[in-house]
Amino acid sequence: MPTEEELIARATELLARGPLLPPPAERKRLREAAGVTQQDVAVALETKRETVNGWETGRTMPRPPRLAAYKHLLDGWAALYPPPAGPDTPTGVPETSTDPAVPEAPEPQVAAPAAPEAPQPEVAATAEAPTAPATSKRAARAAERPVTTLRRPGAKKAAPAATPAGGGDPRFENGPLAVVDVDADGQVLAYCTGGLVLDVPAKSIPALVDWTLREAKLGQPKLSGPGKDADPLLVLTEAALERYGLPATLTDEERLAGRIPENHKVIKQLARTDWKLTKRGFGPWARIYRPAIGSERACVQLCIPSWNALDSRHWGRAAQLPPPELARVLGVYASRVMTPRGSTAVTGLELMTALHPPTRASEPDADGRRHSEHNPGSLGKDPVDCAPCEAPDGHPLLKDLPRFHVRGPAEKLFEEAYDWARPMTDAECTLRFLVGIDVNMAFAAGANGLNVGLGEATHVKQPVFDPKLPGSWLVDLSHVDLSRVKVGKEWVELDGDLLPSPFTPNGERPEGPAWYATPTVAYAQELGYEVRPLEAWVRYDNGRYLDGWYKRLRDAFLATMADLGVHTDMEPADFLAAMEGYKERDAELAIVVSAVKATVKGGLGKLRERPRGEGWRPGEPWRALVRPTWRPDIRAAVISRTRINLHRKIVKHAAFTGQYPVAVLSDCVVYASKGPSPLDFLPYRDGKPLPGGFKLGINPGLVKHEGTQSVLWGEEVRERFDAPELNLARYIKDGTVTDADNGE
């Protein structure tokens, strides 16, 4: 028998192995109880979301130093969120409704061959006791509604889904959205993600909204701790519109107004049942709600493809897809980005707010109550004024300018993407091909790690430039000579006439003082030149606001491209081969890729949204100005950094190879080459690219093949339009140039 001392020594060994963790299922419960995502934990512990998922499924265990930190996190949550009461603990609340007024729903009639029988969950509509006279009618209506039944994939063939429907949250076990359609038998069906099909008993739009909130179990968990869960989204097909008394398409007048008229019978039905519409009315992206009671929201969003809710420029042919396939496309997008809140531009902007909500709950006060307070790292809940130089034409800050005054570079911040081209040299004309390369998710990559202003701008005279301080700077950069610049720590000689200027969108050398965002001025210093700002508008309250936004969209893009057979660890030749025809491998996922990329550009564009009709006149405020996310300075900083990132690669490529671009358009660069492939001019050695130069790959910031045309094609196009500097990057993809493209 071991002695007492030996047993104590063995126990001491176990204690020395480190902190013990609760079972994997309990780890997940604690995190979800705290309203925190796996991504939040990954960011806090500086690891990957997949790693946190491994800890919660028991596949892997955290190692020091993250082990102790993870246990500290779980212990804190365990103190706040103890395990729920067991089945023997009396709660006073029955598990299921026994209200005799709620009839049992009949089993759906299935014409397809019977699939293996699966347990059918019972979804009962329970009539809650009214808490006030105003809610008694709602409770009575709820008691009269029939219950919902579910159809399994065997009952109605549905497209396969790339992601699970419920995301692990029982409140939203049927996924974030559903496509509502009417089958040949006249039955209204809701096609959810994961191939699930629900029978819809609702006979009107108000009843459909009630059913969605009470029985459909649709929605999406919040993306950050202080945020809000996403409202359920219903996509209505033309057949569903007809069933519920809505027009299949909008008239020209309705399309211009963006909504159906206020006297429409469906809007009257909503008003009679105490439902409200937002200020944009009943349009392609209608929101139907009742005022929130405490933290309980009652809101459903509608998406109507036949009213042009899904713009074909960003969603391709999604609006023409059958309901199961459309549910799959939107479901994948929702699970990887977020539930659409409108156009891709609106969703891109809403994603910023969802990841950084303006407010959070404070610590309990002396009475144990929590209050709303500013959420650090967010833009806050109140808008801030831009600097005068950041204001677009027509802004109220500029109302005192003369009527026809045109602001020059010394009055207006003009950070935009490249649109530059030059005539080809004699040596380039002897080559056979023009090859275009395109930067993947260029503007998303420009947002990654970027320090942007969060609060108000401060005006400073004769400032000392600080490359870490976000702002707008009035400085003269005309002395920067691209014929001699620093690349790394060494000065190199280049042909400056063959390079675009990094300081202007048209690539022309600046002629005097101009306003620039911080990344542009910092790049002038990086090239080896002194900068002396005359004045600046700087933001001392700043942070990396867009980091989470970038990571969410990057992960969505990479995951979808991986589903299409394009991975991040491919060799250059394999990557080029995989990119050939990747859209044809799965046309639906290709739509998701397009929508993700449009979300990036549209979201950044929304940061400086201009007036959209509504009788606006120059000098008057417009609707977008009341948003905290109307931030033209952030948009300018991202575009500035994106343009500078591209120019840095162009300079390093020129210094190493002696090759210069023929044209640059936004994130596409065209080079003359002896061969038709990017590998014919990109300086790969032993499979490794030039450090800091162009690298083939699918990650944001790396490049792909945009297109190849002949040098003869380029010269012929320029001669046809008598334009030696016609930007060939605009047409390099397929070589099609029309007279309309050149104002003919």
- Examine the pLDDT at 51 and tell me if it is beyond 90: no
Total domains in the chain come to: 3
pLDDT tens digit sequence for 673-708: 999 999 999 998 877 899 999 999 999 999 999 999
pLDDT of residue 94: 32
Range of the domain at 245: 137-342
Cis peptide bond prior to 65, omega within 30° of 0: yes
Mean pLDDT calculated for residue range 464-478: 97
Q: Is the residue at 536 inside a domain?
A: yes
Q: Is the residue at 643 inside a domain?
A: no
Confidence of residue 278 (pLDDT cuts 50, 70, 90): very high
Q: Is the residue at 42 inside a domain?
A: yes
The SS3 call for residue 302 is: strand
Mean pLDDT calculated for residue range 432-461: 97
Q: Is the residue at 43 inside a domain?
A: yes
The SS3 call for residue 733 is: coil
Q: Show the tokens assigned to 647.
A: 């120019």
| 229 and 303 fall within a common domain | yes
| 238 and 333 fall within a common domain | yes
- Examine the pLDDT at 100 and tell me if it is beyond 60: no
pLDDT of residue 19: 57
Give the C-alpha separation, 168 to 219, whole Å.
12
Q: What angle do CA 84, 89, 90 make, to 5 degrees?
A: 120
- Examine the pLDDT at 155 and tell me if it is beyond 80: no
- Which of 147-151, 448-452, 617-621 ranks highest by mean pLDDT? 448-452
Give the C-alpha separation, 503 to 510, whole Å.
7
| 468 and 334 fall within a common domain | no
Beta bridge partners of 290: 298
**Which of 484, 513, 542 is the C-terminal boundary of a domain?**
542
**Which of 542, 576, 594 is the C-terminal boundary of a domain?**
542
Q: Is the dihedral of CA 62, 64, 69, 75 positive or negative?
A: positive
CATH number of 11's domain? 1.10.260
Q: What's the whole-number average pLDDT of the chain?
A: 86
Beta bridge partners of 87: none
Q: Which of 151-155, 205-209, 403-407 has the lowest mean pLDDT?
A: 151-155
- Examine the pLDDT at 168 and tell me if it is beyond 80: no
- Examine the pLDDT at 12 and tell me if it is beyond 80: no
pLDDT of residue 116: 36
Closest Cα to residue 323, out of 218, 184, 181?
Answer: 181
Write down the number of H helices and E strands in the chain: 22, 23
| 47 and 167 fall within a common domain | no
Distances (CA, A) of 323 to 197, 211, 240, 338: 10, 19, 11, 20
Percentage of the chain exceeding pLDDT 90: 68
**Which of 80, 98, 119 is the C-terminal boundary of a domain?**
80
Q: Is the residue at 169 inside a domain?
A: yes
pLDDT of residue 98: 32
Q: Are strands 233-236 and 296-303 parallel, antiparallel or unpaired?
A: parallel
| 311 and 402 fall within a common domain | no
| 302 and 236 fall within a common domain | yes
- Examine the pLDDT at 139 and tell me if it is beyond 70: no
pLDDT of residue 77: 84
Q: Which of 139-153, 368-382, 423-437 has the lowest mean pLDDT?
A: 139-153
- Examine the pLDDT at 135 and tell me if it is beyond 70: no
- Examine the pLDDT at 629 and tell me if it is beyond 70: yes
| 294 and 412 fall within a common domain | no
pLDDT of residue 238: 97
Give the C-alpha separation, 124 to 178, whole Å.
20
Q: Is the dihedral of CA 317, 191, 280, 261 positive or negative?
A: positive
**Residue tagged 């530059």 (tokens):** 420
Closest Cα to residue 238, out of 305, 327, 330?
Answer: 305
Closest Cα to residue 483, out of 509, 519, 505?
Answer: 509
| 215 and 298 fall within a common domain | yes
Element (H, E) at 429: helix 426-429
Q: Is the residue at 442 inside a domain?
A: no
Give the C-alpha separation, 467 to 488, whole Å.
17
| 469 and 404 fall within a common domain | yes
| 274 and 394 fall within a common domain | no
Q: Is the residue at 561 inside a domain?
A: no
Q: Is the residue at 31 inside a domain?
A: yes
| 229 and 338 fall within a common domain | yes
pLDDT of residue 216: 94
| 158 and 295 fall within a common domain | yes
Confidence of residue 105 (pLDDT cuts 50, 70, 90): very low
